[in-house]
Amino acid sequence: MTPRQVQLVRETWPAVEAIGPAAASLFYERLFATEPALRALFRGDIDAQGKKLVAMLAAAIGALDRIDTLLPTLHALGRRHVDYGVEPAHYDAAGAALLWTLERGLGGAFSDDVRLAWSAVYAALASAMQASDHEHAAAA
């Protein structure tokens, strides 16, 4: 991700964060509509899970210019996702649901450049999580 992409994500994040619960709800509704089998991976309160999602995104966005500081957290999150039954293809579904949610939440501010920026940020975060998935699976 480029410095400009980091800037675009940071500029658009406050609008998403302002509607955090609604954005999280849209995200999970879209994720489960496109991948119904994923619903079974979420055994707890989906509203609480939505709060965790928004909090994790906020932390990640705050540290995008020093992503190395996020790696231990992302690796731990990736290991937990393996334990929950998350597979590599699920990251693609989550990324698509995130972009769909952002498009609705940001409206006209969701330009092609903003879409590419969010795609790059999500790809970097998901890649770090999946790197730990492979390490965890190999150790199991």
From the number of C-beta atoms within 10 Å of its C-beta (0-12, 13-18, 19+), residue 129 rates as buried
Helix (H) or strand (E) holding 82: helix 71-84
**One pLDDT digit (tens) per residue for the chain, 140 residues:** 899 999 999 999 999 999 999 999 999 999 999 999 999 998 889 999 999 999 999 999 999 988 889 888 888 988 988 888 888 889 999 999 999 999 999 999 999 999 999 999 999 999 989 986 444 444 44
Give the Cα separation of 46 and 59 in Å (integer).
Answer: 20
CATH number assigned to the domain comprising residue 80: 1.10.490.10
| pLDDT for 139 | 46
Token pair for residue 130?
């999946």
CA atoms within 13 A on the CB side of 111: 8
| Domain total in the chain | 1
The answer to whether 58 and 13 are in contact (CB under 8 A) is: yes
Range of the domain at 62: 3-139
